[in-house]
Amino acid sequence: MKLSTPLPRRPTIHDVARESGVSVATVSYALNRPERISEGQRLRVLETVAALGYQPNRLAQGLRRGQSRLVGISVPHLTNAYFAELVNCIESVAGRDGYEVLQVLHHHRPTVERLRVAALLDHRVSGLLMVPSEHPTATLDLAAAAMVPTVVLDRPLPDARFDQVTFDNRAAMTELARHLLGLGHRHIAFAVSHPGLVTTRQRIEALGRLAADGARVTLLRQDATEAAYRARLAAALAGKAGATAVIASNTQVGLWTLRGLQAMGVDVPADVSLLVFDHPDWADIVRPRLSVVDTPAAAMAEAAWTMLCARMAGETGPARTVELRASVRFAESSGAVRGS
C-alpha cells in the first residue's frame, strides 16, 4: 500500500485512521474488538497498521484504561543469585502474559525501599512483587494505600493485608540441625547478615530448639568487612568449647565463611562442618562439596505470579500465604564431629 508521506515521528492512531479512511474509533475496534467491526474494515485497518508500523502507545492506553500492564518488582539487589533467579523467573512469566517488569533494588535499606516502591506506584504498576527489607512497614502502607495488588516474596510478614509466598525456613533449619546433632555436634554457629529478618528469626527459633538436646548455638553476625567477620568467625571456633559447625544464612556469608576457614587452615569437615542456605552454583565444585539448602526460587516465582494475576484480575477475599518446601542436600562439607 502507498503512504501519503513518511512520518518524522511514531505513527498514532490518527495516522492509521487517516490512511485507512476511517475514524479512530474504528481503528481501535479493529485492534481491540474485532467482533464489533466488519471484516473489510478490519482488514484494511490492519493493512495500514502493518504498513505504518503502528504500535499503540501504552502510556495513553494505560491512562485511559486505568491500568498500565506494568508490574513492579522490588528486591534487595541482583548480586545474590537467589534474588536474580526470582527476577529472572518473574520476567519470563510476566512477558508471556503481556506484562512488563519495572524493577527496583533497595539494597536492604528501608528508606531506599520506600522511595523506589513509591516511584513504582507513580508509574501506576498493575501489580507489585516484593522481597521486603528488614523494616518494610512504610513501604507496605504505601502499597496498601495505593490499592495495588501486592505479593510479598520470600519473607513472610505478620501482615494480613498481603498475599505471601515463602518457603518453610523452620523445617529446613530443623533438618540441618537434626543432621548436625546426629553427627555429634553440640555447638553450632549460625552466621547471618540480617538478624532482624523474619526468615532469620524463624531459622534461629528452629535452631534454638536444639538447646533442649544439650546443644549450644552461637549467633555470628556478618560484619561490614570480610576481615572483621573472619576475626569473629575465628573467635567462635576457638578453644575446646568452640563451635564445630557453621551454618551460613546465604551464599555470600557462606563464601566469606569458606574463604575464612581456608585462610585459617581449618579442615572442612574434619575440624568444622559447613552448611549453606541458598544453592550457590559452585556448591559441588569446591572441595569438600557443600551441604546446601536448595531454595525453591522458580516455584516461588511461579506461585507468586499466579496469585498476583488472580488479584490483578479482580479476585478479592482474604490474603493467602503459600509456603513451599526447600530441599536440603547433604554433601561432604558436613561430617561427624572430631572424636565422636
Partner DNA sequence: CTGAAAGCGCTTACAG
Which residues sit at the interface with a copy of itself, rule CB under 8 A? Answer: 9-10, 53, 55-60, 62-63, 68, 70, 77-79, 81, 84-85, 87-88, 91-92, 95, 100-105, 116, 118-124, 145-147, 255, 258-259, 262, 280-282, 284-287
How far apart, in whole angstroms, are the C-alpha atoms of residue 136 and residue 119? 15
- Between the two ends of the chain, the Cα-to-Cα distance in Å is 85
Q: How many CB atoms lie within 10 A of CB 38?
A: 11
Q: Pick between residue 174 and residue 249 the one whose CB is nearest to a copy of itself.
A: 249
Q: Pick between residue 29 and residue 167 the one whose CB is nearest to DNA.
A: 29
Q: Report whether 127 contacts 308 (CB < 8 A).
A: yes
* Cell 492512531 belongs to residue: 13
Question: Residue 91 touches which of a copy of itself, DNA, none (CB < 5 to 8 A by kind)?
Answer: a copy of itself
How far apart, in whole angstroms, are the C-alpha atoms of residue 272 and residue 268? 5
SS3 label, residue 327:
strand
How far apart, in whole angstroms, are the C-alpha atoms of residue 226 and residue 108? 18
Q: Pick between residue 24 and residue 299 the one whose CB is nearest to DNA.
A: 24
Question: Residue 206 touches which of a copy of itself, DNA, none (CB < 5 to 8 A by kind)?
Answer: none
Closest to 151 (Cα-Cα) out of 305, 316, 317? 305
Q: Pick between residue 241 and residue 285 the one whose CB is nearest to a copy of itself.
A: 285
CB of 114 to DNA, least distance (A): 19
Question: Residue 53 touches which of a copy of itself, DNA, none (CB < 5 to 8 A by kind)?
Answer: a copy of itself
Q: Pick between residue 120 and residue 204 the one whose CB is nearest to a copy of itself.
A: 120
Give the residues lining the site for DNA (CB under 7 A). Answer: 9, 12-14, 22-29, 31-33, 35-38, 40-41, 54-57, 60-61, 63-66
AA letter at 244: T
CB of 52 to DNA, least distance (A): 10
Q: Report whether 190 contacts 249 (CB < 8 A).
A: yes
Beta bridge pairs of residue 327: 294
CB of 293 to a copy of itself, least distance (A): 18
CB of 40 to DNA, least distance (A): 6
Question: Residue 12 touches which of a copy of itself, DNA, none (CB < 5 to 8 A by kind)?
Answer: DNA
Backbone angles phi, psi at 191, to 5 degrees: -95, 120
CB of 205 to a copy of itself, least distance (A): 30
CB of 146 to a copy of itself, least distance (A): 6
AA letter at 294: D
Backbone angles phi, psi at 219, to 5 degrees: -90, 125
CB of 27 to DNA, least distance (A): 7
AA letter at 301: A
Question: Residue 32 touches which of a copy of itself, DNA, none (CB < 5 to 8 A by kind)?
Answer: DNA
How far apart, in whole angstroms, are the C-alpha atoms of residue 51 and residue 135? 52
Q: Pick between residue 61 and residue 88 the one whose CB is nearest to DNA.
A: 61
Closest to 219 (Cα-Cα) out of 249, 184, 250? 249
